[in-house]
Amino acid sequence: MHKVLISPFHNPYLNLALENYFFETLDSRQPLLFLYVNEPSVIIGRFQNPWIESRPYALGPIHLVRRQSGGGTVYHDPGNVNFSFISSQEEYDKTANLEIICCIMKKAGVNLSINERHDLTVRFQDDVYKVSGSAFRLKKDKVFHHGTLLITSDREKLKKAITPDRDRHFLKTGGTASKRSKVISLSKVVQDLTVDSVISFFRESFQLFPADWKTLQNTETVQREIVSLKSEEWVYEKTPPFIQDLSALFPGEEQLMEIEVKKAVITKTPESLNYLTGIPYGRKETGTILRSRIESSIGDRRIRDESYSRLVRLIR
């Protein structure tokens, strides 16, 4: 029987840090099911490129978080219930984990199915929609398996948050790209279904484990993980190397207008754009550094302004 914890927090950095803490300190004799609800967030997989998955500069108050597990990008908001099964590798069974979720949701009036990719799907009006994906992390003899259930999430906000900038022409990218699927919020399938009602079904089905959340929140390892998750080194510099084509910005140029980016820093450019070399890609300071480089490299003010306006939206 799983020990069940339900987080009282909605900060994605804190909840993912707590998840990692539970994973690292797991008592192998007692598997854990950790539930949490986050503020609006784009959660990318550990090996993903944030500019392929979303538009980081345009997210505004939405958090951009790189998690510890692999897999694809998901959107969290107060309309999602996130679950994390943490266990020893010996007791790990991803199908059995998802069957638990299916059983709980059946009590809520929703019939879910598990597909070959271990997504949870629902049939609605003669079509099949994805309502939950899975991601995993394995370390020595421990595993966590987490996913999110779309309950009342705003589909349009979800779509907007995880729609990339199509003008960024990426030629070669490493890492894992998300596979887009048709999704639906379960409140469309069962009227009056809410996050609170879903959590109540978990409460009724399991004996909750008491936790000193204030102490857990202030644990040194949890606070250290929060700092790491928020850092640009983790969010951006962990991005696998990629090549971007800027040719559309410079019609008539005969040479290839490609830049190479490693650890979110521009490392290689065509000769005519060598002032871009070393500029951090997609960071808060990118625009400021770009303008300074252009001003010191191009004499004509009109050309400087035009070059800046062309480049800044594609590398910021």
Sheet holding 3-6, edge to edge: 3-6, 32-36, 80-88, 142-150, 134-139
Determine the Cα–Cα distance for residues 153 and 195; give it in Å rounded to an integer: 10
**What pLDDT is attached to residue 315?**
94
Instruction: Spell out where the chain has E strands.
Output: 3-6, 32-36, 41-44, 63-66, 74-76, 80-88, 112-114, 120-124, 127-132, 134-139, 142-150, 169-173, 242-245, 258-262, 265-268
pLDDT at 253 > cutoff 80: no
User: Are the beta carbons of 282 and 56 closer than 8 angstroms?
Assistant: yes
Q: What is the pTM of this model?
A: 0.93
Cα-flanking dihedrals φ and ψ of residue 185, to 5°? -85, 140
**What pLDDT is attached to residue 83?**
97
Q: For the chain, give the percent of residues with pLDDT over 70.
A: 99
**What pLDDT is attached to residue 59?**
92
pLDDT at 254 > cutoff 80: no
Greater model confidence, 141 or 223: 223
Tell me the per-residue pLDDT of 107-127, one tens digit each, with 9 for 90 and over: 999 999 999 888 999 999 989
Tell me the per-residue pLDDT of 159-218, one tens digit each, with 9 for 90 and over: 899 988 888 899 889 888 888 788 999 999 999 999 999 999 999 999 888 899 999 999
- Looking only at the bridges linking them, the beta strands covering 134-139 and 127-132 are unpaired
**What pLDDT is attached to residue 196?**
96
- Give the mean model confidence (pLDDT) for residues 25-50: 92
**What pLDDT is attached to residue 117?**
87
**What pLDDT is attached to residue 141?**
87
